[in-house]
Homo-oligomer: A and B are copies of this chain.
Amino acid sequence: MRNDSRQPNELRDVTITTNVNKHAEGSVLIQFGDTKVICTASVEERVPPFMKGQGKGWVTAEYSMLPRATHARNQREANRGKLSGRTMEIQRLIGRALRSVVNLQALGERTITLDCDVIQADGGTRTTSITGAFVALCLAVEHIAKSHPFQVYPINDYLASVSVGIIEGTPMLDLNYVEDSSAKVDMNVVMTGSGKFVEVQGTGEEAPFSRTELQELLDLAEHGIQQLIAAQKQALGAASEHIRGE
């Protein structure tokens, strides 16, 4: 039995509240249990220097945790004067994952920046961020579409992410902080609405894992991601209409 009474293949309660920020072109507050992340999407009518003149857009992400999002307070990265390796790794992952379902050509010469700020952390902040950022991204694309209709809709498919891991020999879905700390194998999976993998990042620092264990973890992840995509569709409502997906 898990410490929060879930079944091994059960997600935590997921809630997605849209339009929580009056300035941003898209915004959500997403919760996976006690993990809470504010995701905002900001649209700028220009692209970064390395993308100039290609007629394409860009989607990027930044990730941060409030100092007291965690059990003990963390020093702000702005005070240390640099981002930690963990932060950079996570925000590179979020951006890469989102771009996998965006048609940058169709987006046009615009940048959409997804800011994922963790208000409270209880495990799975990167998977929660990806899942929420996708919704904020869709809202921002809808916002652009109102004034500048797209010929080809720039979102190709749904996208969500969940963590899985092996705890005392049992594969489990959507680990909370206590579980994450005791898992010997830890994997983050990002999938599309059509059931393809975008990212598979499994690590067995404390105990290497077999091909069979890998299969079980991927099954669990697929099961969870389908439910997350259903929650995204509900949160998006009419804004989900133009997304092809499955």
A200 within 8 A of B: yes
- Cβ contacts under 8 Å, A23 to chain B: 68-71, 120
Copy total for this chain: 6
Q: State which size class the interface on A falls in.
A: 35 or more
Contact with B along A27-39 (1 / 0, CB 8 A): 1000000100010
Beyond A23-B70, A77-B78, A84-B88, 20 additional pairs, beta carbon < 8 A? A21-B120, A22-B34, A27-B68, A40-B66, A40-B67, A42-B68, A64-B78, A73-B113, A81-B81, A82-B82, A85-B89, A86-B92, A88-B89, A96-B205, A100-B205, A157-B208, A187-B200, A194-B208, A197-B210, A198-B208
A interface residues (Cβ-Cβ under 8 A, vs B)? 21-24, 27, 34, 38, 40, 42, 44, 62, 64, 66-71, 73, 76-79, 81-89, 91-92, 96-97, 99-100, 113, 115, 117, 119-120, 157, 187, 191-192, 194-211, 214, 218
Residue contacts A-B, CB under 8 angstroms, 9 given: A21-B120, A38-B66, A42-B67, A42-B68, A62-B79, A77-B78, A78-B78, A81-B82, A192-B208
